[in-house]
């Protein structure tokens, strides 16, 4: 599978960079993972938005759904869209107002996922874990069925020990790292140190830091995570337009 970064800042766009969004591809299947600000203009550079097969959302904070409405308009109004094709948008149902907004009649269809159930999504088997966050949010573990490769995305989360089994031996662990070391046990986000510690304990193969802060020295953030992850796990900062082959 291939993961392309469309946006990797937390909270709000800054200096021409948008917030959380990724394109996850396997074969000819195209999945949009969260839809933060600037998603659509970045997506247009790598894929025709009409070629999406589905969208999946970790939670409904603005920095993860800011471009969802305009993606719905793209599908509704673009002259080349096949009117028979409806775009499924997967989200949780713990906030019904937001869940219901995933459906635009004849264009997009809200689809629910549940923590207790595996979701078969094209080439992926997806499992979910509720995170530590001010609003309901779910981490996702994607297993590519054809290869057995594993990609884990934390969504937004404070430290949670159950990430160790959830991310176990992931080929790529994409972790919300909005905070520098020294702010551990925050109610909403990992610190660099916590992301590295979980990566080490879970024996992941690679750690990528995302939901990056707008201020501070990101090389320090990376170094703090690398120190906690040990010398054997490569730690990288997510970067817009960068792709990972998993
Ligand atoms: Zn966020
Ligand atoms: Zn959030």
Confidence of residue 232 (pLDDT cuts 50, 70, 90): very high
Q: How far is the CA of 36 from the centre of ligand 2 (A)?
A: 11
- Length of the chain equals 246
Backbone φ, ψ for residue 229 (5° rounding): -80, -15
Take residue 63 and report the two structure tokens written for it: 């920095």
Q: How far is the CA of 188 from the centre of ligand 1 (A)?
A: 9
Confidence of residue 206 (pLDDT cuts 50, 70, 90): very high
User: What's the pLDDT at 65?
Assistant: 98
User: What's the pLDDT at 33?
Assistant: 98
- Which listed ligand is nearest to 133 at the C-alpha? 2
User: What's the pLDDT at 144?
Assistant: 98
Q: How far is the CA of 84 from the centre of ligand 2 (A)?
A: 33
Confidence of residue 242 (pLDDT cuts 50, 70, 90): very high
What mean pLDDT comes out for the span 180-194? 98
Closest CA to 17 of 212, 157, 208: 212
Q: How far is the CA of 82 from the centre of ligand 1 (A)?
A: 33
User: What's the pLDDT at 21?
Assistant: 98
Cα end-to-end distance, the chain, whole Å: 5
Distances (CA, A) of 167 to 79, 132, 163, 225: 42, 15, 6, 16
> Measured on CA atoms in the order 185, 186, 187, 191, is the torsion positive or negative?
negative
Q: Given the structure tokens 């759904």, which residue do they identify?
A: 65
- The 10s digit of each residue's pLDDT in 77-115 is 999 999 999 999 999 999 999 999 999 999 999 999 999
Q: Which domains, ranges and CATH numbers included, belong to the chain?
A: 2-245 (3.60.15.10)
Q: How far is the CA of 59 from the centre of ligand 2 (A)?
A: 7
What are the residue ranges of helices labelled H in 58-137? 62-65, 68-77, 96-100
User: What's the pLDDT at 168?
Assistant: 98
% of the chain beyond a pLDDT of 70: 100
- The 10s digit of each residue's pLDDT in 113-160 is 999 899 999 999 999 999 999 999 999 999 999 999 999 999 999 999
User: What's the pLDDT at 101?
Assistant: 98
Averaged pLDDT score across all residues of the chain: 98
Confidence of residue 177 (pLDDT cuts 50, 70, 90): very high
Query: What's 145's DSSP letter?
Result: T
CA distance 178 to 190: 6
């Amino acid at each position: 599978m291939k993961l392309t970064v469309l946006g990797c800042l937390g909270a709000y766009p800054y200096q021409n960079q948008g917030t959380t969004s990724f394109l996850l591809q396997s074969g000819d299947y195209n999945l949009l993972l969260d839809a933060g600000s600037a998603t659509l203009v970045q997506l247009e550079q790598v894929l025709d938005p009409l070629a999406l097969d589905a969208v999946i959302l970790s939670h409904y904070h603005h920095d993860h759904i800011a471009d969802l409405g305009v993606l719905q308009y793209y599908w509704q109004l673009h002259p080349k869209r096949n009117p028979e094709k409806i775009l499924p948008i997967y989200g949780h149902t713990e906030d019904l107002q937001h869940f219901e907004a995933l459906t635009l009649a004849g264009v997009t269809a809200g689809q629910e996922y549940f923590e207790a159930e595996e979701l078969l999504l094209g080439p992926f088997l997806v499992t979910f874990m509720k995170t530590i966050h001010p609003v309901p949010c779910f981490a996702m573990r994607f297993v590519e069925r054809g290869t057995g490769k594993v990609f884990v995305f934390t969504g937004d989360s404070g430290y949670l020990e159950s990430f160790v089994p959830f991310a176990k031996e992931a080929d790529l662990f994409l972790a919300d790292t909005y905070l520098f070391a020294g702010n551990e046990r925050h109610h909403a986000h990992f610190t660099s140190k916590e992301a590295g510690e979980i990566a080490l304990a879970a024996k992941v193969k690679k750690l990528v830091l995302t939901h990056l802060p707008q201020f501070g020295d990101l090389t320090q953030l990376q170094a703090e995570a690398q120190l906690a992850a040990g010398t054997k796990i490569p730690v990288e900062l997510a970067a817009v337009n960068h792709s990972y082959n998993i």
